[in-house]
Amino acid sequence: EGEWKRKKHQPEYRRQWRKLHMGIDAKTLQIRAVQLTTNNVSDSQVLGDLLDQIPQDERVDSVYTDGAY
When pLDDT is averaged across residues 53-68 and rounded to a whole number, the result is: 89
Maximum distance among all Cα pairs of the chain, rounded to whole angstroms: 55
pTM score of the predicted model: 0.70
* Contacting residues for 21 by C-beta, under 8 A, at least 6 apart: 33, 34, 35, 36, 37, 43, 46, 50
- Classified as helix, coil or strand, 49 is helix
The residue extents of the domains of the chain are 16-55
Which element (helix H / strand E) includes 7? helix 2-9
What is the per-residue pLDDT for 19?
Answer: 94
Condensed to tens digits (0 to 9), the pLDDT of residues 19-59 reads: 999 999 999 999 999 999 999 999 999 999 999 999 999 99
E runs forming strands in 12-68: 18-24, 31-38
